[in-house]
Amino acid sequence: MQTLKNSQLLDQEIRELIISHEKVAHVQLNNPLDHALLILIKSGYTAIPVLDRDYRIQGQISKAKILDSILGLERIEMERLNDLKVKDTMETEMPIMSMNSTFGEALTRSINHPFVCIEDEDGAFVGILTRRSILALVNRYFKHT
């Protein structure tokens, strides 16, 4: 019986857990790094998605990557923030899932990634699934079964 319940949890849809794209801080490929740093600092997040002009997911940018990219031999070269673009610095290796993915897949991805980007069937950015929302559901599940 418990095995059946566990598989119901893992097979369930992720739709209701997604933070919608309007609420997700993001930057675009051609934004200069100073703009990306501003968004990261203002939002308070460590890393945020990078989108192209057609609202497709291209990668993610983090404060750590930005700082690393302006680290000179003897000093932090702040002037480079305006020369470098998000596309020069972003990470492209990141998990992307579809609206039809299961909670089990999201749970597995969240082990190594604080958030997972979700795209629709046309490849457009729908939103993100965070480790927080995944853990909240697991917590609710174990408290009520």
List of residues contacting ligand 2BA (CB under 6 A):
19, 23-25, 43-48, 114-115, 128, 130-132
* CB-CB contact of 134 with 106 (8 Å): yes
Please say which residue, 33 or 128, places its beta carbon nearer to ligand 2BA: 128
Is the Cβ of residue 33 or residue 133 nearer to ligand 2BA in the bound state? 133
The token pair that represents 95 in the structure block: 């998990």
Distance between CA atoms of 6 and 11, rounded to whole angstroms?
Answer: 9
For CA atoms 111, 89, 124, 38, give the dihedral sign: positive
Task: Determine contact, residues 9/141, Cβ cutoff 8 Å.
Answer: yes
**In the bound complex, what is the minimum distance in angstroms from residue 134's beta carbon to ligand 2BA?**
8
The minimum distance between CB 72 and ligand 2BA, in angstroms, equals 26
Closest separation between CB of residue 99 and ligand 2BA, Å?
A: 18
Question: Which one, 14 or 128, has the nearer CB to ligand 2BA?
Answer: 128
> Based on CB atoms, which residue is closest to ligand 2BA, 24 or 51?
24
Closest separation in Å from C-beta 113 to ligand 2BA:
8
Q: In the sheet that 57-62 helps form, which strands lie side by side, from edge to edge?
A: 27-28, 47-51, 57-62
Please tell me the total number of residues recorded for the chain in this structure: 145
